[in-house]
Amino acid sequence: MPGSVKSFETDELPEEILNNSFEVCILVLTYNHEKFITRALRSILSQNFELPTCLLIIDDCSPDDTSSRIKSVLREEKIPKNFQVFNIRHISNQFQRGRNFSREVFNAINSKFFALCDGDDAWSDPEKIQIQYSFLNSADGVKFSACGHDSIVVDDEGKVISENKLPESMRRDFDSMSLKRCQCFCLTNTLFFRGDVEFPENLGAVPNGDNIIWSTLGF
Protein backbone atom coordinates (compact mmCIF):
# COMPACT_ATOMS: atom_id res chain seq x y z
CA MET A 1 0.00 0.00 0.00
CA PRO A 2 1.54 3.35 -1.01
CA GLY A 3 1.91 6.28 1.35
CA SER A 4 -0.33 9.34 1.25
CA VAL A 5 0.10 12.64 -0.58
CA LYS A 6 -1.85 15.78 0.29
CA SER A 7 -1.44 19.22 -1.28
CA PHE A 8 -2.32 22.63 0.10
CA GLU A 9 -2.17 26.27 -1.00
CA THR A 10 -1.74 28.20 2.21
CA ASP A 11 0.72 30.40 4.10
CA GLU A 12 0.22 28.40 7.31
CA LEU A 13 0.78 24.83 8.45
CA PRO A 14 -2.45 22.84 8.01
CA GLU A 15 -3.99 21.36 11.13
CA GLU A 16 -3.74 17.91 9.57
CA ILE A 17 0.03 18.07 9.91
CA LEU A 18 -0.03 19.53 13.40
CA ASN A 19 -2.34 16.80 14.68
CA ASN A 20 0.02 14.00 13.58
CA SER A 21 3.18 12.61 15.15
CA PHE A 22 6.16 11.17 13.29
CA GLU A 23 9.41 9.40 13.92
CA VAL A 24 11.20 11.56 11.33
CA CYS A 25 10.12 14.75 9.57
CA ILE A 26 12.03 15.65 6.39
CA LEU A 27 11.70 19.34 5.53
CA VAL A 28 12.22 20.50 1.94
CA LEU A 29 12.20 24.27 1.50
CA THR A 30 12.24 25.32 -2.13
CA TYR A 31 12.14 28.47 -4.24
CA ASN A 32 12.91 28.67 -7.97
CA HIS A 33 14.46 25.21 -7.97
CA GLU A 34 12.85 23.83 -11.13
CA LYS A 35 16.23 22.47 -12.30
CA PHE A 36 16.86 20.55 -9.09
CA ILE A 37 13.65 19.70 -7.24
CA THR A 38 12.96 16.44 -9.12
CA ARG A 39 16.34 15.00 -8.15
CA ALA A 40 15.92 16.21 -4.56
CA LEU A 41 12.54 14.55 -4.07
CA ARG A 42 13.53 11.31 -5.78
CA SER A 43 16.54 11.02 -3.48
CA ILE A 44 14.27 11.33 -0.45
CA LEU A 45 11.60 8.94 -1.70
CA SER A 46 14.28 6.32 -2.35
CA GLN A 47 15.43 6.22 1.28
CA ASN A 48 15.52 2.78 2.90
CA PHE A 49 13.72 3.71 6.11
CA GLU A 50 10.58 2.01 7.41
CA LEU A 51 9.39 4.07 10.39
CA PRO A 52 6.62 6.73 10.22
CA THR A 53 7.98 9.62 8.17
CA CYS A 54 6.63 13.03 7.23
CA LEU A 55 7.90 14.58 4.01
CA LEU A 56 6.99 18.25 4.20
CA ILE A 57 7.59 20.20 0.98
CA ILE A 58 7.17 23.96 1.18
CA ASP A 59 7.35 25.97 -2.05
CA ASP A 60 7.62 29.64 -1.12
CA CYS A 61 5.49 30.84 -4.07
CA SER A 62 8.10 30.13 -6.76
CA PRO A 63 7.36 32.00 -10.03
CA ASP A 64 9.15 29.33 -12.10
CA ASP A 65 8.10 25.72 -12.81
CA THR A 66 9.02 24.36 -9.36
CA SER A 67 5.43 23.69 -8.31
CA SER A 68 4.51 21.64 -11.37
CA ARG A 69 7.75 19.65 -11.10
CA ILE A 70 6.86 18.76 -7.51
CA LYS A 71 3.39 17.60 -8.54
CA SER A 72 4.84 15.48 -11.35
CA VAL A 73 7.24 13.70 -9.01
CA LEU A 74 4.55 13.00 -6.43
CA ARG A 75 2.25 11.70 -9.15
CA GLU A 76 4.79 9.52 -10.95
CA GLU A 77 7.08 8.21 -8.20
CA LYS A 78 6.22 5.43 -5.78
CA ILE A 79 5.52 6.87 -2.35
CA PRO A 80 6.87 4.61 0.43
CA LYS A 81 4.08 3.17 2.56
CA ASN A 82 5.50 4.74 5.74
CA PHE A 83 5.53 8.25 4.19
CA GLN A 84 2.93 10.95 4.68
CA VAL A 85 3.70 13.65 2.13
CA PHE A 86 2.42 17.19 2.62
CA ASN A 87 2.98 19.48 -0.35
CA ILE A 88 2.45 23.14 0.55
CA ARG A 89 2.62 26.01 -1.92
CA HIS A 90 2.63 29.41 -0.25
CA ILE A 91 0.09 31.90 -1.55
CA SER A 92 2.60 34.70 -1.08
CA ASN A 93 6.38 34.68 -0.61
CA GLN A 94 7.04 34.47 3.12
CA PHE A 95 10.82 34.96 2.95
CA GLN A 96 10.29 38.49 1.60
CA ARG A 97 8.20 39.17 4.68
CA GLY A 98 11.07 38.18 6.93
CA ARG A 99 9.39 35.00 8.09
CA ASN A 100 11.58 32.02 9.01
CA PHE A 101 9.31 29.13 8.22
CA SER A 102 11.83 26.40 9.05
CA ARG A 103 12.01 27.28 12.74
CA GLU A 104 8.21 27.45 12.88
CA VAL A 105 8.09 23.93 11.46
CA PHE A 106 10.63 22.62 13.98
CA ASN A 107 8.62 24.02 16.86
CA ALA A 108 5.14 23.11 15.61
CA ILE A 109 5.46 19.56 14.28
CA ASN A 110 5.54 16.61 16.65
CA SER A 111 8.48 14.57 15.35
CA LYS A 112 11.19 12.68 17.21
CA PHE A 113 13.78 13.77 14.62
CA PHE A 114 14.14 16.25 11.78
CA ALA A 115 16.16 16.15 8.56
CA LEU A 116 16.74 18.95 6.05
CA CYS A 117 17.08 18.88 2.28
CA ASP A 118 16.67 22.13 0.35
CA GLY A 119 15.16 22.00 -3.10
CA ASP A 120 18.53 22.40 -4.81
CA ASP A 121 20.19 19.62 -2.78
CA ALA A 122 19.90 15.82 -3.01
CA TRP A 123 20.95 12.78 -1.00
CA SER A 124 23.24 10.29 -2.72
CA ASP A 125 23.00 7.50 -0.14
CA PRO A 126 19.65 5.68 0.24
CA GLU A 127 20.73 4.65 3.76
CA LYS A 128 21.34 8.24 4.93
CA ILE A 129 18.31 8.58 7.20
CA GLN A 130 18.66 5.07 8.63
CA ILE A 131 22.35 5.59 9.44
CA GLN A 132 21.75 8.91 11.20
CA TYR A 133 18.65 7.64 12.99
CA SER A 134 20.51 4.56 14.23
CA PHE A 135 23.42 6.66 15.46
CA LEU A 136 21.36 9.12 17.51
CA ASN A 137 19.47 6.19 19.05
CA SER A 138 22.66 4.30 19.93
CA ALA A 139 24.55 4.25 23.23
CA ASP A 140 27.22 6.50 21.72
CA GLY A 141 24.77 8.81 19.98
CA VAL A 142 22.51 9.52 22.94
CA LYS A 143 24.78 12.38 24.10
CA PHE A 144 24.53 14.14 20.73
CA SER A 145 21.75 16.57 19.77
CA ALA A 146 22.47 16.28 16.03
CA CYS A 147 24.69 14.71 13.42
CA GLY A 148 25.75 15.59 9.89
CA HIS A 149 28.33 14.73 7.27
CA ASP A 150 30.32 15.97 4.29
CA SER A 151 28.76 16.58 0.87
CA ILE A 152 29.72 16.75 -2.79
CA VAL A 153 29.31 19.99 -4.78
CA VAL A 154 27.92 19.67 -8.32
CA ASP A 155 26.87 22.13 -11.03
CA ASP A 156 23.49 22.47 -12.77
CA GLU A 157 24.24 19.46 -14.95
CA GLY A 158 25.34 17.25 -12.07
CA LYS A 159 29.05 17.52 -12.87
CA VAL A 160 31.20 17.26 -9.74
CA ILE A 161 32.89 20.54 -8.81
CA SER A 162 34.29 19.39 -5.49
CA GLU A 163 34.30 16.03 -3.70
CA ASN A 164 34.25 17.76 -0.32
CA LYS A 165 32.33 20.80 0.91
CA LEU A 166 33.20 20.33 4.56
CA PRO A 167 36.74 21.49 5.44
CA GLU A 168 38.87 18.67 6.82
CA SER A 169 39.34 20.48 10.13
CA MET A 170 35.54 20.51 10.59
CA ARG A 171 35.04 16.76 10.06
CA ARG A 172 34.86 16.06 13.78
CA ASP A 173 32.62 16.24 16.83
CA PHE A 174 31.75 19.57 18.47
CA ASP A 175 31.00 20.05 22.15
CA SER A 176 28.06 22.08 23.42
CA MET A 177 30.08 25.25 23.95
CA SER A 178 31.44 25.18 20.39
CA LEU A 179 27.89 24.96 19.10
CA LYS A 180 26.60 27.69 21.42
CA ARG A 181 29.35 30.05 20.23
CA CYS A 182 28.98 28.91 16.59
CA GLN A 183 32.63 27.87 16.59
CA CYS A 184 31.79 25.11 14.16
CA PHE A 185 31.04 24.55 10.52
CA CYS A 186 28.19 22.19 9.70
CA LEU A 187 26.27 21.61 6.47
CA THR A 188 22.56 22.28 6.87
CA ASN A 189 21.58 19.93 4.04
CA THR A 190 23.18 17.01 5.92
CA LEU A 191 21.70 17.81 9.32
CA PHE A 192 19.69 15.26 11.33
CA PHE A 193 18.64 16.42 14.80
CA ARG A 194 16.36 15.72 17.73
CA GLY A 195 12.85 17.14 17.70
CA ASP A 196 12.57 18.01 21.40
CA VAL A 197 14.22 21.39 20.82
CA GLU A 198 12.56 24.80 21.05
CA PHE A 199 14.00 27.18 18.45
CA PRO A 200 13.66 30.97 18.82
CA GLU A 201 11.55 32.34 15.96
CA ASN A 202 11.91 36.12 16.21
CA LEU A 203 15.50 37.34 16.37
CA GLY A 204 15.51 40.40 14.14
CA ALA A 205 18.25 40.84 11.54
CA VAL A 206 20.48 37.86 12.26
CA PRO A 207 23.14 37.73 9.48
CA ASN A 208 23.32 33.94 9.32
CA GLY A 209 20.18 31.99 10.18
CA ASP A 210 22.08 28.70 10.36
CA ASN A 211 23.93 30.02 13.42
CA ILE A 212 20.62 30.01 15.27
CA ILE A 213 20.33 26.28 14.63
CA TRP A 214 23.85 25.45 15.82
CA SER A 215 23.60 27.64 18.91
CA THR A 216 20.19 26.28 19.91
CA LEU A 217 21.36 22.69 19.47
CA GLY A 218 24.32 23.53 21.70
CA PHE A 219 21.94 24.28 24.54
Strand partners, 212: none
Residue 135: half-sphere exposure toward Cβ, Cα within 13 Å = 16
Name the percent of the chain lying above pLDDT 90: 76
194 membership: H or E segment, kind and range: strand 192-194
pLDDT in tens, 48-94: 999 999 999 999 999 999 999 999 999 999 999 999 999 999 999 99
Average pLDDT in the chain: 93
Task: Write down the pLDDT at residue 210.
Answer: 81
CB–CB of 93/62 below 8 Å?
no
SS3 165: coil
Would you write out the chain's pLDDT as a tens digit for each of its 219 residues? 789 999 999 999 999 999 999 999 999 999 999 999 999 999 999 999 999 999 999 999 999 999 999 999 999 999 999 999 999 999 999 988 878 788 889 999 999 999 999 999 999 999 999 999 999 999 999 999 999 999 999 888 888 999 999 899 989 999 999 999 989 888 888 999 999 989 887 665 666 778 888 899 999
